[in-house]
Amino acid sequence: MIPPRCSALLTDLYQFTMLQGYLEQDMEAVAAYEFFVRRLPRDRSYLVAAGLESVLQYLETVRFTAEEVDWLAGTGRFNRRFLDYVAGFRFAGEVAAMPEGTVFFPDEPILRVVAPIPQAQLVETRIINLLHYQTLVASKAARTVLAAEGRLLVDFGLRRAHGAEAGLLAARASYLAGFGGSSNVLAEHEYGIPGYGTMAHSFVQAHEDEALAFEHFAHAQPDNVVLLIDTYDTEAAAEKVAALAPRLMAQGIRVKAVRLDSGDLGEHARRVRRIFDAAGLEGIGIFASGNLDEYQVAELVAQKAPIGGFGVGTRMLTSSDAPYLDCAYKLMEYAGRARRKRSEGKATWPGRKQVYRFHDGAGRLLRDVLTVEGDVKEGGQPLLSPVMRAGRRLQAPLPLDEARRHCAAELARLPPSLRALEGNGTYEVEVAPALHELALAVDEGRV
């Protein structure tokens, strides 16, 4: 299973019941849908767009197999026209989007799909599923990257990610946001993300003697000796490493680092640092893990704990302080006419939209303007651009490292007011007069 290659049946049943409805009424006019986030979760001041690449891959390849069409027929819910439609289904529409790694704010569309309504509707569920999670993780990872102030960050979260695909997509989203790599081997295989890995407590426990476990591990992985020292007593284990390291060095094996995984990480790091320094082993680094997220990383950095890198897992992959985004994929236009939904607390801005971004003299984010497509805002940078036409990409996939550089540049442009880990920093997203006017026109039935 490599995302997004999964069955086209991975969708909500209502996509099929609506499709049958559209087909019966010969409603096949062009629709425009946009994906956006309604509001920021607590303690988020910006979001980082991610998931576009997997959405494009999905749109290029989504098909119903003969077995799936037969199964749908067998449910008795669908008529022949519906079954013929899905059997021949190909996505042949247009997509415009913000590049992955772009910083964005509520109400700003990061992706627009334009296609005959049966097509544009049918792909809703998986598009949300892909964009929501990757954006959620990239946004949390970006906060961690800023908190780490240049220290190495490694994704350790696969085991407690919500399923296989979450583990894989999160490895990519966190790397996009500036992590140095991942423990997830499949992420290296699929995306070329640098692999990191050391040892588990069980490796130590399976040996009669902790020092012997370290020695065996060093011989098995001579180029990557990172030893886990908290299985029994952290400082006692550090002493064992201090005794072992010169012996290994004589055999040409260098102990690169130790890993701490429990207790007061800052305090242990200081004690272990003193033990190594006293033994003349200034070169052995200290790596920390254990339920870390941006808040703990920031605290350890503020303490000046002698930690060179962090393994960040569960809390990032589940985005535990904000496990979901209030996001939607909504119909904005049908048959040439703008539309909006007016449900309580969930009203949308109608029509096809564009976001223009303005920067200050230092190149920092100043304000955004949300407006209707075509209402050009001079001096502003349009954030959405066409990426797919007639179901085909307009460019080759952006290499992940390029998207990662784009994200780093975006984060460097964040003003100090948005960098705080707590609270919701304010950033102006102006709704242009043209968009206000369109909303009014829709409400009054003038369009």
CB of 137 to a copy of itself, least distance (A): 8
Which residue in the set 90, 219, 247, 405 belongs to the binding site for a copy of itself (CB under 8 A)?
219
Closer residue to a copy of itself (CB): 150 or 345: 345
Closest CA to 319 of 158, 130, 50, 137: 137
- Cβ atoms within 10 Å of 146's Cβ, excluding its own: 21
Residue 330 found at the interface with a copy of itself (CB under 8 A):
yes
- In a 3-state reduction of DSSP, which class is residue 380? coil
Residue 324 found at the interface with a copy of itself (CB under 8 A):
yes
434 near 428, Cβ under 8 Å?
no
Q: For residue 32, what are the β-bridge partners? A: 114, 333
Question: Which residues lie closer than 8 Å to 232 by C-beta, 6 or more apart?
Answer: 204, 210
CB of 315 to a copy of itself, least distance (A): 8
CB of 190 to a copy of itself, least distance (A): 9
Closer residue to a copy of itself (CB): 75 or 426: 75
| 107 phi/psi in degrees, rounded to 5 | 75, -10
Q: Which residues, 171 to 190, sit near a copy of itself by CB under 8 A?
A: 183-186, 188-189
127 near 35, Cβ under 8 Å?
yes
Residue 195 found at the interface with a copy of itself (CB under 8 A):
yes
Residue 320 found at the interface with a copy of itself (CB under 8 A):
yes
Token representation of residue 374: 């075509």
Residue 138 found at the interface with a copy of itself (CB under 8 A):
no
Q: How far apart are CA 328 and CA 124, in angstroms?
A: 9
Residue 269 found at the interface with a copy of itself (CB under 8 A):
no
For the window 367-406, what string marks contact with a copy of itself as x by the rule CB under 8 A?
Answer: ----------------------------------------
Q: How far apart are CA 255 and CA 221, in angstroms?
A: 10
CB of 74 to a copy of itself, least distance (A): 10
Go through the chain and tell me how many residues it has: 447
CB of 128 to a copy of itself, least distance (A): 4
- In a 3-state reduction of DSSP, which class is residue 385? strand
Residue 205 found at the interface with a copy of itself (CB under 8 A):
yes
CB of 11 to a copy of itself, least distance (A): 6
100 near 50, Cβ under 8 Å?
yes
Residue 340 found at the interface with a copy of itself (CB under 8 A):
yes
Residue 166 found at the interface with a copy of itself (CB under 8 A):
yes
Token representation of residue 87: 């059997």
Residue 327 found at the interface with a copy of itself (CB under 8 A):
yes
Residue 9 found at the interface with a copy of itself (CB under 8 A):
yes
Please choose, out of 92-100, 273-281, 319-327, 413-421, the segment that lies near a copy of itself by the rule CB under 8 A.
319-327
- In a 3-state reduction of DSSP, which class is residue 24? helix
| 191 phi/psi in degrees, rounded to 5 | -120, -5
Which residue in the set 192, 200, 243, 381 belongs to the binding site for a copy of itself (CB under 8 A)?
200
Which residue in the set 2, 87, 281, 398 belongs to the binding site for a copy of itself (CB under 8 A)?
2
CB of 185 to a copy of itself, least distance (A): 5
Residue 192 found at the interface with a copy of itself (CB under 8 A):
no
- Judged on CB neighbours under 10 Å (0-12, 13-18, 19+), 306 is middle
Closer residue to a copy of itself (CB): 22 or 427: 22
**Tokens 């097509």 identify what position?**
119
Please choose, out of 231-239, 392-400, 421-429, 432-440, the segment that lies near a copy of itself by the rule CB under 8 A.
231-239
Q: Which residues, 343 to 372, sit near a copy of itself by CB under 8 A?
A: 343-346
Q: How far apart are CA 310 and CA 147, in angstroms?
A: 11
CB of 282 to a copy of itself, least distance (A): 25
34 near 109, Cβ under 8 Å?
yes
Residue 16 found at the interface with a copy of itself (CB under 8 A):
yes
Closest CA to 353 of 367, 340, 366: 340
Which residue in the set 169, 241, 286, 383 belongs to the binding site for a copy of itself (CB under 8 A)?
169
Q: For residue 103, what are the β-bridge partners? A: 48
CB of 101 to a copy of itself, least distance (A): 20
Which residue in the set 102, 129, 174, 289 belongs to the binding site for a copy of itself (CB under 8 A)?
129
Question: Which residues lie closer than 8 Å to 301 by C-beta, 6 or more apart?
Answer: 147, 148, 149, 151
